[in-house]
Chain A
């Protein structure tokens, strides 16, 4: 545990010069989305007819975007950046010559991305409040779910990057993952409209993949929806399961990537 702490400390120290920029972009980015999609596109949406269960479209889309943004962070940080750290950047290659183990390194790696999503989600509460969106006190828990949504992507995708590095493969699969997996998931995440609107097959794909669970849970924590306690726990369990399985896989692929 102390080793994990030192890993986070190390990562924090590396990024501290860019941390303010991260926080600012964590505000500005979602604000743009809220304005553009929430208000702009929202003006074209007949909320009553769409049966979204919220007063305004922005109330629907605002919370969902927190989880969707966390997914994007979790995915993008797990590709080139992760591969570079495993290959030529000094941070991971030298960290495993200390008492830190490769499995601990992986847990630290994924949870560090989760921590950044936590910061992002917390910062994002400001525009949410400015728009008068939150209805429930459980809103304060939403950034933690955002963090878990990020790790549900970061752990498996980083595990894949570890595999790519350990096999000495090129990174040609990375843009494909973003374009063919993450982008569609963003659109089919339930952030913008209920997934019940999708064709049945796609709806089930969305249900199996983690992002929808993050979106539903975050929304249920921030505004009044028909999400039940059990429903909420189920979403949580799915996010935990993806994170956990990703950690098991990643501990192995990082070990191979750093120690052949």
Chain B
């Protein structure tokens, strides 16, 4: 449990190691990635290409795209992704979001 996080976790699941922006994180296996990152204390997932403003999950239902992260070089909605072992998660590269 991460006390620094604004979010509290109530389920226990076995943990796997992933990296976010290069740093290792232990997240619950099979969890919703956006929920897991929030609970781990990650608030800002990305920066907007326009002004560089920080953004994090807003809708949790795949509609707003504010939770975009990059996994294996592909922009993905964290709220529509499940945690698996060894995920290498990065902040999306500027401008990539509207390439797809």
A and B together in one complex:
no
Chain A interface (Cβ < 8 Å from any Cβ of B): none
